[in-house]
C-alpha cells in the first residue's frame, strides 16, 4: 500500500508562500520597469521623428560657440554649402554595410563665407566604401576616395559624432598625408588634425533626392553619384527589446504563480481526497 504524502508543516508552508510571493512580486516589478523603459524609448523615437520633420537646418542656424551636442537639434535635416578639406579626410576602419566590411569616409567641410560662422569647419560622415578582402590591411591599399572640387552642397541629418566602435588601445596622432586610417576619432584628434576645433555635431550625409530617384530599387548596393554608399541603418532606440524583456518577466511571474498553486494547493488537496477515498468504507 502506498502511503499518502506527508503534509507540510505550517511553518514550511508559510516560508514557501512568502518566497513565491516575493519572487512573483519581483518579476512583476521587473516587467513593469521594462515597460517603463520601453515607453521612454518610444517617447525618444517620437522626438527623433519630430526632429526629422522640422525645417532644414542650415549653416546660418549653427551656433558658433556650440561646444556640446546637447545644444544641437540632433536628427534634424541639414543642408550646408562649403568646400571639402580633402587633405584632412579620415577613413574609419572595421565598418560594415549590408554585411560587407569596409570603411567610413569622414571629411571636414569648411563653410562658405555666407555662413553664420564663416571659415568654421563641420565634420561630415560622407559615406561608406567597400574594402578588398584580399588586399593587405595597410594604408597603402586603401580604396580611392572621391574628391569633388569647388563649392559643394551637402544634405544630411545632424548626429552627435562620427561612427564609433569599441577600441582597446589609444591611437597615436597621425603622421603624413590624408587619408588616414583610424578606428575612432575624438575632439582631441580633430583639434590636432585640423589645427582648430570643428563645430559641435556631425552631418550624416544622405543621398540627394535626384540620386534616390535614379537608383534602381532592385539594386540595393547601387552607390550614390560620387561612388559612396549611404545606406545608413535606421535609428533603433531599442523599445522592442524592452517589450520582449517585459514579456519574459511577466511569463516568469505567471510560471512561479502556477507552480505554487499546483504544488501547494491543488496537488495536496488531491492527495488528501485520494487518502479519504481509501479510508472510507
Which pLDDT does position 8 carry in this prediction?
57
* Site of grid cell 583610424: 182
pLDDT in tens, 169-180: 778 777 777 788
Task: Look at residue 263 and tell me if it is in a domain.
Answer: no
**96-100, 150-154, 211-215: least confident range:** 211-215
Contact 102, 128 (CB under 8 A): yes
Does position 106 have pLDDT exceeding 50, yes or no? yes
Q: Distance between CA atoms of 149 and 147, rounded to whole angstroms?
A: 6
Q: pTM to 2 decimals?
A: 0.70
Residues of the chain with pLDDT > 90, as a percent, come to 28
Task: Look at residue 105 and tell me if it is in a domain.
Answer: yes
Does position 216 have pLDDT exceeding 70, yes or no? no
- Domain total for the chain? 1
Which pLDDT does position 137 carry in this prediction?
63
Does position 218 have pLDDT exceeding 50, yes or no? no
> Looking at the chain, how many residues does it have?
281
Q: Checking DSSP bridges between strand 151-159 and strand 77-84, what pairing results, if any?
A: antiparallel
Residue 192 dihedral angles phi and psi, to the nearest 5°: -75, -40
Task: Look at residue 107 and tell me if it is in a domain.
Answer: yes
Contact 153, 80 (CB under 8 A): yes
Q: Identify the domain containing residue 68 by its residue range.
A: 55-214
Give me the DSSP letters along 35-80.
Answer: HHHHHHHHHHHHHHHHHHTSPPB-GGGS-TT--SGGGS-TT-EEEE
The mean per-residue pLDDT over the stretch 69-94 comes to: 89
Task: Look at residue 150 and tell me if it is in a domain.
Answer: yes
Residues of the chain with pLDDT > 70, as a percent, come to 81
Residue 6 dihedral angles phi and psi, to the nearest 5°: -70, 130
Task: Look at residue 165 and tell me if it is in a domain.
Answer: yes
Q: Checking DSSP bridges between strand 90-97 and strand 100-111, what pairing results, if any?
A: antiparallel
In this structure, what C-alpha cell is assigned to residue 127? Answer: 559615406
Task: Look at residue 226 and tell me if it is in a domain.
Answer: no
Q: Distance between CA atoms of 190 and 122, rounded to whole angstroms?
A: 11
Which pLDDT does position 209 carry in this prediction?
45
Contact 103, 128 (CB under 8 A): yes
Does position 29 have pLDDT exceeding 50, yes or no? yes
**18-32, 59-73, 182-196: least confident range:** 59-73
Contact 198, 106 (CB under 8 A): no
Which pLDDT does position 128 carry in this prediction?
93
Task: Look at residue 123 and tell me if it is in a domain.
Answer: yes
Q: Is 18 exposed, middle or buried (0-12, 13-18, 19+ CB in 10 A)?
A: exposed
pLDDT in tens, 243-268: 899 999 999 999 999 998 888 888 88
Task: Look at residue 82 and tell me if it is in a domain.
Answer: yes
Does position 4 have pLDDT exceeding 60, yes or no? no
HSE-up (13 A, CA, CB side) for residue 154: 32
Does position 138 have pLDDT exceeding 70, yes or no? no
pLDDT in tens, 40-73: 888 777 777 777 778 888 888 888 765 666 778 8
The mean per-residue pLDDT over the stretch 136-144 comes to: 70
Q: Distance between CA atoms of 74 and 3, rounded to whole angstroms?
A: 72
Report which of 4, 58, 47 is spatially closest to residue 269, judged by C-alpha positions: 4
Q: Distance between CA atoms of 233 and 154, rounded to whole angstroms?
A: 19
Label residue 233 by pLDDT band (50, 70, 90). Answer: confident
Amino acid at each position: 500500500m502506498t502511503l499518502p504524502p506527508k503534509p507540510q508543516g505550517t511553518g514550511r508552508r508559510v516560508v514557501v508562500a512568502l518566497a513565491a510571493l516575493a519572487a512573483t512580486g519581483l518579476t512583476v516589478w521587473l516587467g513593469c520597469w521594462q515597460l517603463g523603459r520601453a515607453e521612454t524609448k518610444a517617447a525618444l523615437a517620437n522626438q527623433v521623428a519630430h526632429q526629422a520633420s522640422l525645417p532644414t537646418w542650415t549653416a546660418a542656424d549653427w551656433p558658433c560657440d556650440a561646444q556640446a551636442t546637447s545644444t544641437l537639434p540632433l536628427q534634424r535635416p541639414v543642408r550646408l554649402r562649403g568646400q571639402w578639406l580633402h587633405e584632412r579626410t579620415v577613413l574609419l576602419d572595421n565598418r560594415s554595410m549590408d554585411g560587407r566590411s569596409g570603411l567610413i569616409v569622414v571629411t571636414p567641410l569648411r563653410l562658405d563665407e555666407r555662413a553664420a560662422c564663416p571659415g568654421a569647419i563641420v565634420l561630415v560622415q560622407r559615406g561608406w566604401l567597400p574594402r578588398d578582402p584580399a588586399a593587405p590591411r595597410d594604408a597603402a591599399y586603401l580604396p580611392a576616395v572621391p574628391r569633388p572640387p569647388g563649392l559643394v552642397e551637402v544634405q544630411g541629418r545632424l548626429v552627435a559624432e562620427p561612427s564609433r566602435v569599441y577600441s582597446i588601445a589609444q591611437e597615436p596622432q597621425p603622421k603624413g598625408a590624408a587619408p588616414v586610417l583610424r578606428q575612432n576619432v575624438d575632439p582631441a584628434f580633430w583639434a590636432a588634425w585640423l589645427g582648430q576645433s570643428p563645430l559641435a555635431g556631425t552631418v550624416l550625409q544622405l543621398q540627394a533626392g535626384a540620386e534616390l530617384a535614379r537608383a534602381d530599387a532592385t539594386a540595393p548596393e547601387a552607390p550614390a553619384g560620387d561612388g559612396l554608399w549611404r545606406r545608413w541603418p535606421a535609428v533603433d532606440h531599442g523599445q522592442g527589446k524592452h517589450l520582449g524583456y517585459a514579456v519574459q518577466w511577466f511569463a516568469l511571474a505567471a510560471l512561479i504563480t502556477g507552480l505554487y498553486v499546483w504544488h501547494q494547493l491543488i496537488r495536496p488537496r488531491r492527495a488528501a481526497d485520494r487518502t479519504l477515498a481509501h479510508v472510507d468504507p
